[in-house]
Every structure is written in structure tokens, then in C-alpha cells.
Chain A
């Protein structure tokens, strides 16, 4: 989308010097259920932030609040310096710069792998069919699926589907990627191929926020590890420090169960 796009305004232009993700005092209620209780978090350019914690701790809700799939009930979310809750901001344009990968893949089942990667490029970024397909092919090749471009999601394994989902997000040229338990729905033998793609992505300098249960991945790839419990960030630090030497008793209790 060029700045000449009539739907866009000065306020929609990202500030390259601002952190990709900045969350300030974030609260989220589902009815009477207080899921996020004041989260402050900044993700800097090129960082790979891994978020761990017991189920129900609010880590997925936090991730989904970043691109406003969940609308916060309090606090602020800034993406590249833009207040995304501002009703005058073009939220769809902000979302094109945030790639999102889901636990359940959420590929469009009525489209081929290639079409999955091109539809939003054409409809949102206004790329031509040829341009979009070139980019889609490149991305599918990047995740090692150049021989599956015409397969439908139902013909692919879980690991392949998740790699298509990553390619689909990458095809939008996002500035950052969100991963919501990307390997939790996979058979154990398929986890490796997806983690490998994510590892390559991290090495290429992509800003990433990853909700995961893969402690090995967090230790090896993560630049920061965040432990959440009961709607708050309990502890954060270098992954190997937090994993090897947790300070908070709740972190210790959680890690003793999963490691």
C-alpha cells in the first residue's frame, strides 16, 4: 500500500524509530473474568520475545490484543508508534504489518496453498495477480513447500499447513510476526519442521512474539522470555537465565512441572 492510498492518512504512517510493539497498562475483561491485569511490555526491533505460562494465564489474550483481535478494556497498544485503538487509524493497514500464526493454522480450506498466500496481497495491498503469485511462490519456497503450491489445506499435514500459514503471513511483508502456540496442535514428529522455519525467520531479523510451550525453542532462539501467570507478567529476562534460575516461586513451580 503506497502512501498515495486515499484511504490512508498521515497518522497511519508508521514511525520507524518507535518500538514495533508497545503495550501499556493493558487490561482485558471477559465479562466478570479479569484476564489481563495491567500488562506493560515493549518488543524492540529484531527481538524474539517468547511468552510462557500455565493455560488461562492470559498469554494468548495478550498476543491477540496486540493486533486487536481482542479489544482491550483498559490500557494502550502502540504498533510502530501508532495508537491502534484510535478510531481514526486504519486498523486494517496496521494489521497488514503484523503477521499472525494461529494454533489451529486457520488456512482458508477452499483455496490452494498459493491462493491462501495471494488473496490478501491482491485485495489489501493491491498487488497484481502476477506480482502476488511471484511473492506467494517465493514465500512457500522459503518454508520448503514449493512442491505443494497447488495443494488444498486438506491435502497437507499439520506441519505443512502451519508452514503455509507462516508463508501466508510473510507474503504481506510484515514488520513483525505473532505466533499463538504454533506447534501445540501438531503431532510431535511435525513440530520440528515448523520450529525450523521459525528459527530461520528469527535469524533473518524478524521481530517476533511467540506464545509457546517449546522451552527448547525459547532457550535457543528467544532473546527474551516472559513468564505470565494469572494475568500479569511475573518474571522476564534472558531465556537461559529464567529457565535455569527462575527467581519467582510461581515461575519455579511452573518450570518444575514442564521441564
Chain B
């Protein structure tokens, strides 16, 4: 019996089992070589956990989620416009191409840094203060620029995945270019695009960590800034570890959801 004779479901189960086994072996090795008392003090210090809870959840995680959702919603709105511009002809196309290439090509950290420090210097301009900090508006603007560029490409590919006959059928019924786009093309494109967009949301959630460079007040800190501040003020990595766990608590279920959505879409086709 060769490998291909095994049923796919069984094969998947074997693959999963072997990866679990490897992970377990690595954990056991780490457990033997690690300095546990020291790691416990430095990474899982209960006293420090008591200090940072609940504000790590009520302020930091909450801010991370709020910033991500705001940047995602506004960024996706602009992304739809950019995608339509890129698929048009003329100057709008070239503007969209330039915008998308610029902000996909730059590291997100640089974009946020540019929004926070370079734009104010260059244009003698002050970001509106939110929660006592200009860093929020600047950082969010940077995130929106980055997300809109990434999502524009995702949305464009989704729209282009809608069969050409759909537009022809709609136009032959007398619907205009805009009516066709709004009622026929976009609703189908959105369906195609939901799994990859959820993926982009997870990426954005992680990128929101870069907001630390824009600066924040106690009330406007997101998870990474909170963890870093907690680490320096306590000389202990526990706040960072807690932040990491909170990130995973959000991102892993979302990633799982993407997998489910993709499977569902595959069945529908």
C-alpha cells in the first residue's frame, strides 16, 4: 500500500497527528533545557499580572480592536473606490496604481512614522488630538493608507473574478454601468472577497502594533504599546507575554474562521 492508496481523510488525520507529535517533542525538549524558575519570574510573574489586569483588556485590547475596526472600515471604503479607479481608464487608473504600489511597497512602520512625524514637519500641520495624543489620528491615518492599498488589490481581484457574462446580461437589460456595478458585480465580488478580506483584517490587527511608534497616552495605548510600557516600568516581560496571549486569543479564532469561509465558498462553486 502506497501513500496515495490511503483515503484523503485518513491521510489528513495522519498528517495532523504527526505534526502534533513533533510539536510535543519540541515542547518537551524546551522544558528540559529551559531555566523554569527564571522564566516564571520574568515571563509569567503573577504579581505583575495582577497589576496590569484588567486594564490590559479594558484599555489596551479594547483600543487595539477599536483601532483595527476603524482602520479596516474606512480603509475598505477607500479600497473599493481605489479598486474601481484602478479598473477604469485614464488618470484615475494611474492615480490608483501609484497609490497602491506606494503603500504596498513601503513597510507599514514607515508609513505610520511618516504620518506621525514627517507630514507634520513638512506641512507645519498638527493632527487633531484624540484622548490627549496626536499619535492616534496620525497612526490611524497610516493604517488606513496601508489597508486601503492592500484591500484595493483584494477587492479588484474579487470583482474581476465575477464572470464577464454577468456584466453583459445586466447591460443588455438596460442597466447602466453604475447600476450594473452596484447591483450585479459588487454583491458577487464581495462574496468572493470575504475570506481574503478577513485575512487582511487579521494582518491589520497585527499591524496595529506598529502604532507604538506614533506615540500614545495612558488611555490611548494599544496592546503592544501597553506591553512595552509595562515591560520598561516593571523591568519584566510579563506584560509582553500577556499581550501576546491576547493577540492570539483574537487572531487564532479569526484565522480558523477564514478557513471555514474558504471551505464554504469552495462548496458553493
Contacts and interface: CB of A to CB of B under 8 A. Distances in A.
A165 B172 CA distance: 12
A112 interface: no
Contact of B175 (A98, A106, A123): A123
Nearest to B268: A154
B174 A92 contact: yes
B253 to A, nearest CB: 27
Contacts of B176: 92
B187 to A, nearest CB: 5
B172 A98 contact: yes
A142 B166 CA distance: 24
B174 A172 contact: yes
A67 B166 contact: no
B168 A69 contact: yes
Interface residues of A, number: 26
Interface in B153-175: 163, 165-166, 168-175
A111 to B, nearest CB: 9
A123 B183 contact: yes
Contact of A168 (B165, B173, B179, B183): B173
Contact of B172 (A95, A104, A107): A95
A107 B166 CA distance: 7
A123 B172 contact: no
B133 interface: no
Contacts of B12: none
Contacts of B175: 92, 119-120, 123-124
A124 B174 contact: yes
A134 to B, nearest CB: 18
A52 to B, nearest CB: 22
Interface in B161-199: 163, 165-166, 168-176, 179, 183-184, 187-188, 191
B191 to A, nearest CB: 7
Contacts of B174: 92-93, 95-96, 120, 124-125, 172
Nearest to A96: B174
A108 B172 contact: no
A96 B188 CA distance: 23
Contacts, number: 62
A169 interface: yes
Contact of B191 (A110, A120, A169): A110
Interface majority SS (helix, strand, loop, mixed), chain B: helix
A168 B188 CA distance: 19
A102 B173 contact: no
B165 A95 contact: no
Contacts of B171: 69, 92, 95
A104 B268 CA distance: 18
Contacts of B183: 119, 123
Interface in B238-269: 268
Interface in B181-228: 183-184, 187-188, 191
A176 interface: no
A120 B215 CA distance: 52
B162 to A, nearest CB: 10
A108 B171 CA distance: 12
A48 interface: no
Nearest to A172: B173
A108 B179 contact: no
A237 interface: no
A124 B165 contact: no
A169 B165 CA distance: 15
A232 interface: no
Nearest to B177: A92
B187 A110 contact: yes
B189 to A, nearest CB: 10
Given A100-B169, A124-B175, 19 more contacts: A67-B172, A69-B168, A92-B171, A93-B174, A96-B174, A98-B172, A102-B169, A106-B165, A106-B166, A106-B169, A110-B188, A110-B191, A119-B175, A120-B173, A123-B179, A123-B183, A165-B169, A169-B172, A172-B174
22 contacts: A69-B168, A69-B172, A92-B171, A95-B171, A95-B173, A96-B173, A100-B169, A100-B172, A102-B165, A102-B168, A102-B169, A106-B163, A106-B169, A108-B184, A110-B188, A119-B183, A120-B170, A120-B174, A124-B173, A124-B175, A169-B173, A172-B173
